[in-house]
Amino acid sequence: MTPGATSGPASGQPEAGHPEPPRQGSQPEPGCDVPLLRLRGVSKSYGAVQANRGVDLTVMPGSIHAILGENGAGKSTLMKMIYGVEAPDAGQIEWNGAPVALTSPSEAGRLGIGMVFQHFSLFDTLTVLENVALVVPGSPRRLAARIATLGRDYGLQVDATEYVGALSVGERQRVEILRCLMQDPRLLILDEPTAVLPPQMVTRLFSTLRVLRDRGVSILFISHKLDEIRELCDAATVLRDGQVTGHADPRDTDTRSLTRMMIGRDLPPALPAEPGGAEGAVQLQLSQLDWTNPDPYAPDLRGIDLKLRGHEIVGIAGISGNGQSELCALISGETRLPTRAAGAIALRGQSVGAMGAAGRRALGLAYVPEERLGHGAVPEMTLWQNALLTAQSRGLTRRGMVDRRAALRFAQDCIAGFDVRTAGPEAEAGSLSGGNLQKFVVGREIMLAPSVLLVEQPTWGVDVAAAAEIRRRLIEMRNAGCAILVISEELDELFEICDRLHVLHDGRLSPSLVTARTTPEEVGEWMIGAGRPDAAPAGKGGGTGPARPGSSGTNADRPDTARPDSARPAPSHPDRSDPAAEGPGAGAASEGSDHAV
Amino acid sequence: MSPLEFILAGTLAAATPLMLAALGELVVERSGVLNLGVEGMMALGAAVAFIVAYQTGGHGLAFVAGAGAGMAAALVFAVPVLGFRANQVAAGLALGILAGGLSAMVGRPYESLTIRSLPKLDIPVLSDLPYVGGVLTQDIAVWATLAMAVAMAWVFRSTRLGWRIRAVGENPHAARAIGTPVLRLRLACIAFGGALAGMGGAYAATVYTPLWADGMIAGRGWIAVALVVFGTWRTGRVALGAILFGALSIGELVVQATGVRIPSQALAALPYVATIIVLAVISSNRMLTRRHSVASLGEPFDP
């Protein structure tokens, strides 16, 4: 809650890197200012599921207001109602003190509400300029000029003629924010904007948001990351199970009380991730693994070296789309190497590159894929049938026939042992919530007692308590001698459970970094490719790590530094600016980047 | 007239029905809808246009009637597909069979009747040049179709309307989130595509071969669908593919006339086979195909 005096066009200089000085007047001041947006008793349900129940929310002008809550707490539904994508079942929305009916996104846009989606509403096959022009009126030439000016003012530089499909995630986010800003919004909604960014880019985003705030734009910042909210926001509304559980000023509320409001109790203490001590034998080894991707927009894997021993958890960090899913498919056996290259993957001392998934599982590999529904489990099948899918060799079949009783027992043990909340082993996998199904899938793989466990995004979309439980189980497995490879986008999680880290960027794997001796910043450098061997001499097996390029750190926060963002999902494709490749025939038939209208 | 001159002169006219239908289907597919009923819409447009031309003698009116018939058939397809999110492949096939049967029914009294064609326009001096002259002496509908292809390329490349259609085809959910009326836009594209298919039929039945016979569309609608896919959804390639097919189908007549001892059925199949092979080779570049392909093609949109 900010008095009107500090809003409006202020100095415009972002104070990046410094915590905001506490701004005066954080108490509500009745009569001083009309709230920009006010929700009263807003409810929304989808069938039997009540997504929001009697939500009250007040956003003052010139404020960065956090909406805090776990996955599934109803944050996204609430934002959809504010942005006019969904209509509330009950309750009232007021804009500048007057009730409004937000029936469509364009109506919300007219009022001055802009939204940056978590899954961006951008179009890969259109250029930046064309994406902007879809919602912003004006001649393309004028739009291009505005993109450049706004980009300079707010640290959101992008090449307007580039196809969005060729941009990195960070650049895409900039395009989304730019597109919102060009409509002169009074309120900007950002849905989990930092989920997709490496740490350096988060700092840069925050300085952009502070400039916006200083110029009088209110921001609704949706997140479940408490540190970020305490750093950036001056007000917070906490949601749990669709209901408001508290309003707070995050600058003077400690993390623990925010956590309580968010999950209803204290966070279970993290298991201390003391190194496994015993140095196990090498269980999984990748040596100079090369793989050419059939998908032209996804990276090839090049020269990947990795050693995974028993008694350790190794994490692979990186922004998704840099080769993670390809690497998992190669390790699990879902993608096979040609026989002559089979030696690049060794499982427990055996060359398995050309072996199928079943053969590798028989050797002691277990795998928890990223997609729970359709990959980790079949949604239409019951839990015991899903248990059968990977555990059938553990006595669940007899002479080729399913031993139903044994399968039921296995599933029941998994449900009990991993605290899966469900009606029982006869429940369909698709009827479980994300977190519970994840616990079941992880539990099923752990019950196979593998010697190598490959886990992709172990806690993606899982509530805090279940996530902590899954991490605890992984550490237990490690202590029992299992070799665990975790691929995750959540850097905090990797730092919590891993003994060593690698970073995957553009299909190349960084050298090994010992978790205890590295920092998120160093890992972040590798995530955006700044620490590549060709940019700096590589560290030896961890510890020392890569040299940091001089342009990092504080400079990255300054909006006027045109720092190329090299974290492209698919950078090495020559076609994207090649007009000659755009097709034969009449000039008019080729779809180049000349936008004369 | 030498065989080459004959081929050059006849190519554009032979390509026009196909080009019209393919351009129409291109617009439909770019918006994310797959309408496989092109063959039927062309046949219905051909029959209706022929009847109108026979009764009134006016080609302009015939084209309007053909377009109207094609559009009406397309709207029959749009109702289940957009309104009830029906499977587009099934609905398109059903439409094709329905419209084809309807064309045979309404055209029966006119079977094998003929009308006069559209005059070829002489361009002073140029039309008298060898080789080039034949290419440049075409009827008004051919020129209008070529102009349409150029205009359509321009629309997709540099107008908001074109960008909006491409956006809806790539990701209708995101398009809706930024305020694009997805279903209305798709409805307009389906109607436009039906109108062009009907006009393609109208050209075939009132200008190219000015007579009505059941089955006279002879697979052109299917080739139009194939052209759009193999032309990787790009206007220029789709138009060129149509011209290639036109040249081959004229060339086939020339070869038959010279009395080469190849079974005529094999020759008749040649344009279809060759067009598909050429376009398949061209479209083998994965990267370009992916850049231009329509991500949501064939998927019902549930807002």
Residue range A132-154, pLDDT digits in tens? 999 888 898 999 999 999 888 88
B147 touches chain A (CB under 8 A): no
A11, amino acid identity: S
Contacts B285 to A, Cβ<8 Å: 581
Determine which of B152, B287, B297 to mutate to test the interface with A (most A C-beta atoms within 10 Å).
B287
State yes or no: pLDDT of A313 exceeds 80.
Answer: yes
For residues B182 and A50, what is the distance between their CA atoms, to the nearest angstrom? 28
State the Cα angle at B251 between B246 and B257, rounded to 5°.
Answer: 140
Pick from B210, B220, B38: nearest CA to B141: B210
Q: How many Å lie between the alpha carbon of A212 and the closest alpha carbon of chain B?
A: 21
Between A77 and B78, name the one with better pLDDT.
B78
Query: What are chain B's domains?
Result: 3-292 (1.10.3470)
Alpha helices, H only, A197-294: 199-214, 226-232, 255-263
Coil, helix or strand for A91? strand
Per-residue tokens: A172: 């895409």
Give residue-wise pLDDT tens across range A113-122. 988 887 778 9
Q: Which pLDDT does position A296 carry in this prediction? A: 65
Chain B segment 18-77 residues within 8 A of A by beta carbon are none
Query: What are chain A's domains?
Result: 37-267+569-587 (3.40.50.300), 280-364+450-556 (3.40.50.300), 372-448 (no CATH)
Three-state DSSP at A290 gives: strand
Strand partners, B9: none
What does the pLDDT average to over A573-580? 38
DSSP state of A576: G
Q: Do A589 and B236 touch (CB under 8 A)?
A: yes
CA separation for the pair A347, A208 (Å, rounded): 47
DSSP one-letter string for A398-466:
ETTEE-HHHHHHHHHHHHHHTT--SS-TTSBGGGS-HHHHHHHHHHHHHHT--SEEEEESTTTT--HHH
Backbone angles phi, psi at B18, to 5 degrees: -65, -40
Percentage of chain A surpassing pLDDT 70? 81
pLDDT number for residue B57? 83
The mean pLDDT value for A98-122 works out to: 85
Least CB–CB distance from A585: residue in B158, B236, B295: B236
Judged by CB atoms closer than 8 Å, whether chains meet at A586 and B290 is answered as no
CA B198 to each of CA B11, B41, B48, B118, B188: distance values in angstroms, whole numbers, following the listed order: 21, 6, 9, 17, 15
Give the HSE-up count for residue A498: Cα atoms under 13 Å, Cβ half-sphere. 29
CA distance B288 to chain A (A): 8
| A147 Cα to chain B: minimum distance (Å) | 17
B302 in contact with A at a CB cutoff of 8 Å?
no
Portion of chain B with pLDDT greater than 70, in percent: 97
- Convert A374-409 to b/e letters by CB count within 10 Å (16 or more is b): eebbeeeebbbbbbbebbbeeebeeeeeebeebbbb
Q: Tell me if chain A has a CB within 8 Å of the CB of B167.
A: yes
How does the average pLDDT of chain A come out, rounded?
Answer: 79
Nearest CA in chain A to B168: A123
The CA distance from B165 to B172, in Å, is 10
pTM exceeds 0.90? no
**CB-based contact B292 A109, cutoff 8 Å:** no
Q: Does B288 touch chain A (CB under 8 A)?
A: yes
Q: What is the mean pLDDT of residues B236-265?
A: 87
Q: Indicate whether A574 pLDDT > 80.
A: no
Q: Which residues of chain B make contact with A140, given a CB cutoff of 8 A?
A: 158
Tokens representing residue A430 in the block: 């698709």
Among A110, A116, A121, A191, the strongest candidate for a mutation testing the B interface, having the largest count of B CBs within 10 A, is: A121
Question: How does residue A271 score in pLDDT terms, banded at 50, 70 and 90?
Answer: low
Residue A176 has pLDDT above 80, yes or no: yes
Give B267 to chain A, closest Cα distance, Å.
Answer: 28
Question: In the numeric block, which tokens belong to residue A110?
Answer: 């007219």
Q: What are phi and psi of A402, to 5 degrees?
A: -70, 130
pLDDT in tens, A420-462: 888 889 988 888 877 788 889 999 999 999 999 999 988 877 7
Collapsed DSSP state (helix, strand, coil) of residue B133: helix
Any CB–CB contact under 8 A between B234 and chain A? yes
- Alpha-carbon dihedral sign for residues B39, B44, B50, B53: negative
List CB contacts (< 8 A) between B178 and chain A. Answer: 105, 121, 134-135
Subunit contact A591:B234, Cβ cutoff 8 A: yes
* Cα B175 to the center of its chain, rounded Å: 28
The verdict on a CB contact (< 8 Å) between A589 and B237 is: yes
Give the residue from chain A lying closest to B236, CA to CA.
A589
Q: How confident is the model at residue A594 (pLDDT cuts 50, 70, 90)?
A: very low
Q: Which residues of B touch A135 (CB under 8 A)?
A: 178-179
Inter-residue contact B16 to B145 (CB < 8 Å) = yes
Q: What is the mean pLDDT of chain B?
A: 90
Q: List phi, psi (to 5°) of B227.
A: -60, -40
Among residues A208, A111, A199, the alpha carbon closest in space to that of A151 is found at: A208
Flag if A575 and B167 touch (Cβ within 8 Å): no
Label residue A267 by pLDDT band (50, 70, 90): low
Q: Is B215 helix (H, G, I), strand (E, B) or coil?
A: coil
Q: Is B179 on the interface with A (CB under 8 A)?
A: yes
Mean pLDDT is lowest, of A71-80, A243-252, A272-281, for A272-281
In this prediction, residue A70 carries a pLDDT of: 79
Q: Among all residues of chain B, which has the CA nearest to that of A574?
A: B287
Quote the CA–CA distance of A502 and A513 in Å, as a whole number.
6
B158 touches chain A (CB under 8 A): yes
Chain B residues within 8 A of A115 when measuring between CB atoms: 177
Kindly identify which residue of chain A lies nearest to residue B169, measuring between CA atoms.
A123
- Whether B180 sits inside 8 A of A125 (CB atoms) is no
| Interface contact flag, B236 A594, Cβ < 8 Å | no
CB A590 to CB B154 under 8 A?
A: no
Q: Per-residue pLDDT tens for A511-570?
A: 999 988 888 888 888 888 776 544 443 333 333 333 333 333 333 333 333 334 444 343
Kindly list the residues from chain B whose CB atom is less than 8 angstroms away from the CB atom of residue A581.
285, 288
> Measured between alpha carbons, how far is A58 from A62 in angstroms, rounded to an integer?
12
What is the pLDDT, as a whole number, of residue A264? 79
Q: How far apart are CA A491 and CA A489, in angstroms?
A: 6
Tens digit of each residue's pLDDT (9 = 90 or more) over B270-295: 888 887 788 778 777 766 666 678 88
Q: Chain B partners of A595 at a C-beta cutoff of 8 Å?
A: 158
CB–CB contact B239 A585 (8 Å): yes
